[in-house]
């Protein structure tokens, strides 16, 4: 097994706690109500590049949140259904993603010193520390 | 903690005003910290869906209330692990759209036990002094905030209208933050509450005539797609768009993107000039909307439709204004909805009441259509049984309905849609 170097990004913690998992990455904003099936944890928006993909138990790495004001309620529902992501890493702060991260109660980090979308690919192993505002990336080999 | 609390906010957080307001304040502090907000603003205008429950939440929380305490409001609205006694709203609070029309719930295919639960949830909200508007268009149903008024609103199409057209100040709030604001009169002072965050960021030059409701809907869809969650400044030579056009423009822009505020130079109150709209900002990007862009939007909105046989026409997204019900009634004069097609038009209870007085509801019903309140097909996930192909005059609904219910959807003008309802065939014209 090849051990790759760990990349460390520093930013601002949004929701505290520590979690790790496999990354699911999109440069697109993530939809809420009407673009996601919260009980299965699947993106359903017609034109979305992650359409049909599940974020359940993943570390979701994304640009930001978009669409309906039902964003937080959808991801809150995903938490109740056991289909929420394990952690969030995102670039653009909005009320939708802030409230969504709070009620999902998952470690979340933003304002990173380098663009996570340039450095993290789907399948990489990512650790998110929301207390320290740190993201550690182990590239898939 | 980065957020600074006033003495009265601290007292609320310490439980002076009871457990529920304490839990509401705790949630608001978590939310403000996540945003990086430094303080709260006071609000006396909250629009949300307090205590409501879709079938999933109804099942999830079934039997979990105890001693009259409300589990859904405690655990879901306030995200509290503790069950609390829910007090009345502290500030004026309005209920947005709901799950079923109380008159036509059977038409929507809602099961009786689900409908009873909707009624119970509505009674719960009403008992706590929440005004039951049951619409996504509160500004057409009696809640019109003043310029500069701090609000805590949900519903992306209403938020964008309040900020852009009325000059009120609200972020796109969510279920939990509006319910917490209802109990505290507080919301984080962040984003669109602050003058420096309301200036334009992107410039859109409109290079073709934009006239009809459909034109404004397509322009909004384009703008949302290119600026995403930023603040577009729309510049062009067109007649001042009236309220229905702005309703459709904003609803589209907040569906294809996350636009919460826009400026139309010469029309919206914070954009008397291009300079005023941008304030200290320099446009980050400039886009030109011409015939090519308009056709691309039209084609994209119609991309998943191929079968011209239409079995369902839905109008009223966002909820129809009185003038739109009058238009539908007029277009249906001397005609009948095809036996192979259904026509449902959604509106608010307030507008429905006026439309009944004026005879529009009777005219639409006599022609074979149905006027419904409270909800819409996307929200209620309700379409006539067997629907495969829908026709819509709303870019927002065309954005959502195929994703939610897996149907084909044609997008066009109100006239195209009414014609489809009458003939059962789509014959919409590409612009």
Average pLDDT (B100-125) is 95
Q: How far is CA B146 from CA B165, B168, B169, B179, in A?
A: 10, 6, 9, 22
Q: Select from A14, A72, A94 the Cβ nearest to the Cβ of B229.
A: A94
pLDDT computed for residue B403 by the predictor: 84
Average pLDDT (B86-91) is 98
Q: Select from A39, A72, A81 the Cβ nearest to the Cβ of B174.
A: A72
pLDDT in tens, B180-198: 999 999 999 999 999 999 9
Q: How far is CA B233 from CA A55, A133, B209, B228, B273, in A?
A: 35, 35, 17, 13, 10
Average pLDDT (A74-95) is 97
Instruction: List chain A residues with CB under 8 Å of B174.
Output: 69-73, 95-96, 99-100, 103
Rg, chain A, Cα only: 14
* A91 Cβ under 8 Å from any chain B Cβ: no
CB contact under 8 A, B175 and A44: no
* A98 Cβ under 8 Å from any chain B Cβ: yes
pLDDT at residue B39 greater than cutoff 90:
yes
pLDDT in tens, B386-404: 999 999 999 999 999 998 8
Q: Rounded to 5 degrees, what are φ and ψ at B293?
A: -65, -40
Q: What is the CATH number of the domain that holds A118?
A: 3.50.30.10
Question: How far B229 CA lies from chain A's nearest CA (Å)?
Answer: 7
Q: Select from B30, B172, B400 the Cβ nearest to the Cβ of A69.
A: B172
A1: in domain: no
B242 prior amide bond cis, ω within 30: no
pLDDT at residue A2 greater than cutoff 80:
no
* A21 Cβ under 8 Å from any chain B Cβ: no
Average pLDDT (B368-397) is 97
Give me the total of CB pairs closer than 8 Å, taking one residue from chain A and one from chain B: 110
Strands A36-37 and A42-43: what pairing?
A: antiparallel
Instruction: List chain A residues with CB under 8 Å of B228.
Output: 29, 64, 66
A114: in domain: yes
For residue B250, give the nearest of B396, B373, B378 by alpha carbon. B396
Q: How far apart are CA B145 and CA B370, in angstroms?
A: 31
The total domain count for chain A is 1
CB contact under 8 A, A96 and B258: yes
For residue B299, name the pLDDT band (cuts at 50, 70, 90): very high
For residue B68, name the pLDDT band (cuts at 50, 70, 90): confident
Average of per-residue pLDDT values in chain A: 94
Average pLDDT (B112-117) is 94
pLDDT computed for residue B67 by the predictor: 78
Q: Percentage of residues in chain B with pLDDT exceeding 90?
A: 95
For A73, nearest residue in chain B (alpha carbons): B175
Question: How far B332 CA lies from chain A's nearest CA (Å)?
Answer: 31
CB contact under 8 A, B35 and A95: yes
A37: in domain: yes
Homologous superfamily of B303-423 in CATH? Answer: Aconitase, domain 3 (3.30.499.10)
Write out the residue range of the structural domain in which residue A23 sits. Answer: 6-138
Residues 236-295 of B with CB under 8 A from A: 254-255, 257-258
Residues 6+ positions from B156 with CB-CB distance below 8 Å:
A67, A68, A69, B172, B251, B254, B255, B258, B260
CB contact under 8 A, A65 and B258: yes
pLDDT in tens, B311-356: 999 999 999 999 999 999 999 999 999 999 999 999 999 999 999 9
Q: How far apart are CA B110 and CA B115, in angstroms?
A: 6
* B415 Cβ under 8 Å from any chain A Cβ: no
Catalytically annotated residues of A: 68
* B171 Cβ under 8 Å from any chain A Cβ: yes
Would the CA dihedral through A7, A12, A15, A16 be positive or negative?
Answer: positive
Question: How far B127 CA lies from chain A's nearest CA (Å)?
Answer: 23
Q: Phi/psi class of residue B51: alpha, beta or left (left: φ > 0; alpha: ψ in -120 to 50)?
A: left
pLDDT at residue A68 greater than cutoff 90:
no
Q: How far apart are CA B22 and CA B87, in angstroms?
A: 11
Q: What is the ipTM of this complex?
A: 0.96
Rounded to the nearest 5 degrees, what angle is found at the Cα of A102, between the Cα atoms of B403 and B55?
A: 45
pLDDT at residue B254 greater than cutoff 80:
yes
For residue A3, name the pLDDT band (cuts at 50, 70, 90): low
A128: in domain: yes
CB contact under 8 A, A70 and B174: yes
Q: How far is CA B74 from CA A141, B132, B176, B281, in A?
A: 46, 20, 10, 42
pLDDT in tens, A50-61: 999 999 999 999
Average pLDDT (B25-34) is 98
Question: How far A73 CA lies from chain B's nearest CA (Å)?
Answer: 6
* B40 Cβ under 8 Å from any chain A Cβ: no
pLDDT at residue A46 greater than cutoff 90:
no
For residue B69, name the pLDDT band (cuts at 50, 70, 90): confident
Tokens 């909800």 correspond to what residue?
A: B375
Q: How far apart are CA B86 and CA B75, in angstroms?
A: 11
């Amino acid at each position: 097994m090849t051990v790759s170097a760990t990349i460390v990004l520093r930013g601002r913690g949004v929701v505290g706690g520590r979690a790790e998992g496999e990354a699911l990455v999109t440069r697109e904003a993530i939809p809420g109500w009407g673009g996601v099936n919260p009980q299965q944890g699947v993106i359903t928006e017609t034109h979305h590049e992650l359409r049909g993909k599940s974020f359940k138990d993943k570390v979701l790495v994304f640009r930001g949140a978009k669409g309906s004001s039902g964003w937080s309620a959808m991801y809150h529902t995903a938490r109740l259904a056991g289909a929420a992501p394990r952690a969030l890493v995102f670039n653009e702060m909005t009320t939708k993603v802030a409230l969504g991260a709070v009620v999902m109660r998952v470690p979340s980090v933003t304002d990173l010193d380098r663009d996570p979308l340039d450095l993290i690919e789907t399948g990489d192993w990512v650790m998110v520390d929301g207390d320290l505002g740190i993201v550690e990336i182990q590239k898939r080999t | 903690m980065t957020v600074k609390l006033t003495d009265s906010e601290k007292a609320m957080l310490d439980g002076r005003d009871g457990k529920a307001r304490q839990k509401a304040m705790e949630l608001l502090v978590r939310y403000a910290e996540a945003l990086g907000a430094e303080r709260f603003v006071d609000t006396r205008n909250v629009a949300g869906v307090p205590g409501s429950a879709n079938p999933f939440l109804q099942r999830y929380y079934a039997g979990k209330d105890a001693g009259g305490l409300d589990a859904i409001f405690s655990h879901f609205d306030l995200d509290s692990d503790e069950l609390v006694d829910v007090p009345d709203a502290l500030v004026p609070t309005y209920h947005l759209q709901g799950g079923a029309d109380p008159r036509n719930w059977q038409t929507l295919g809602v099961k009786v036990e689900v409908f009873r639960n909707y009624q119970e949830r509505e009674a719960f909200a009403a008992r706590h002094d929440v005004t039951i508007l049951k619409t996504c268009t509160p500004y057409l149903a009696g809640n019109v905030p003043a310029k500069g008024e701090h609000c805590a609103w949900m519903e992306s199409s209403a938020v964008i209208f309040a900020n852009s057209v009325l000059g009120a100040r609200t972020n796109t709030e969510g279920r939990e933050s509006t319910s917490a604001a209802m109990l505290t009169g507080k919301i984080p002072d962040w984003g669109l509450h602050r003058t420096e965050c309301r200036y334009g960021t992107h410039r859109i030059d409109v290079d073709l005539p934009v006239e009809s409701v459909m034109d404004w809907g397509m322009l909004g869809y384009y703008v949302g797609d290119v600026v995403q969650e930023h603040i577009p400044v729309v510049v062009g030579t067109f007649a001042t768009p009236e309220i229905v056009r702005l309703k459709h423009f904003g609803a589209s822009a907040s569906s294809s993107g996350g636009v919460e505020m826009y400026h139309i130079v010469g029309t919206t109150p914070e954009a008397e000039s291009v300079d005023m709209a941008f304030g200290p900002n320099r446009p980050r990007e400039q886009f030109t909307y011409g015939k090519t862009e308009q056709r691309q939007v039209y084609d994209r909105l119609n991309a998943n439709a191929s079968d011209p046989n239409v079995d369902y026409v839905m109008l009223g997204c966002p909820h129809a204004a009185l003038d739109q019900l009058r238009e539908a009634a007029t277009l249906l004069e001397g005609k009948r909805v095809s036996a192979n097609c259904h026509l449902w038009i959604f509106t608010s209870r307030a507008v429905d009441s006026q439309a009944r007085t004026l005879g529009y509801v009777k005219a639409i019903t006599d022609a074979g259509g149905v006027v419904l309140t409270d909800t819409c097909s996307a929200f209620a996930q309700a379409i006539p049984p067997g629907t495969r192909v829908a026709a819509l005059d709303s870019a927002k609904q065309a954005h959502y309905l195929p994703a939610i219910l897996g149907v084909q959807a044609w997008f066009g003008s109100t006239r195209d849609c009414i014609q489809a309802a009458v003939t059962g065939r789509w014959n919409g014209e590409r612009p």
